[in-house]
Amino acid sequence: MSGVKRAIEWRVRVGEGETRAAFDPAPGPIGDSVFVCAHGAGGHMDDTSIRKVSDVLRARGIGTVRFNFLYRERRSGRPDPMPRLQECVSAVAEHVRAELRPGVLLLGGRSMGGRAASMLAADGFACSGLILLAYPLHPAGRPEKLRDAHLPRIRVPVLCFNGTRDNLCRRDLMERAVGALPDWTMHWLEGADHGFHVLKSSGKTDAGVLNEVGDASLAWLAGVVKGRGQ
């Protein structure tokens, strides 16, 4: 995989359907690592947020695979049911495993995409870890409807980023849900909202927030690789 110099595009079978995926290679990948990054409910594989995450991770030696969920490939705005979302993450991850044979296979993504990946991991799908971006702990304005029941069943290391202004993840509820989980690393992005945007008055920039994501991911991944003896 280290010899790959440019992006690779694939068509991936998902049950009776098919979707598009793209591998963005990184020079000198850390521990031969690839991150399968799922988009959020209103996004797609080529949206700005996914592209920027891919860029900051690639700059730090982490290859990234972007893909469309089937509903987005059909150009629909209505997300598929969660089992279908999980099936798509699984199909893309298995395609990556077969094509690239990465030493470290990471799953995750933004919001709904990260939630689908986390539920797949909780069901026992084999991967090296999860990177979750803006995990949607509850619907906006509905903190009583928590999406945390499966989290204790995850048996791989998790790095989770949420902004302190995220209206889908109240900090006290998230810390209560994951605080006792041994392999869960929670990284709060001060002043960021669900889209990782910050107010000008904060003195921070969106680019700075993304660089924080990249640096923290690199440091966390070094520990994952060390723990695997690579």
pLDDT in tens, 122-172: 999 999 999 999 999 999 999 999 999 999 999 999 999 999 999 999 999
pLDDT of 27 > 70? The answer is yes
CA distance 129 to 193: 24
| Average pLDDT value for the chain | 94
pLDDT bin (cut points 50, 70, 90) of residue 7 is confident
Q: Domains along the chain?
A: 8-227 (3.40.50.1820)
CA distance 77 to 202: 33
Q: Note the pLDDT tens digit of each residue in 198-216.
A: 999 999 999 999 999 999 9
pLDDT (0 to 100) of residue 44: 98
pLDDT (0 to 100) of residue 3: 47
Extended beta strands in 134-181, E state: 158-163
Q: For the whole model, what pTM was predicted?
A: 0.95
Average pLDDT estimate for 33-42: 97
pLDDT of 24 > 90? The answer is yes
The 3-state DSSP class for residue 158 equals strand
Extended beta strands in 58-126, E state: 63-67, 104-110
CA distance 105 to 116: 16
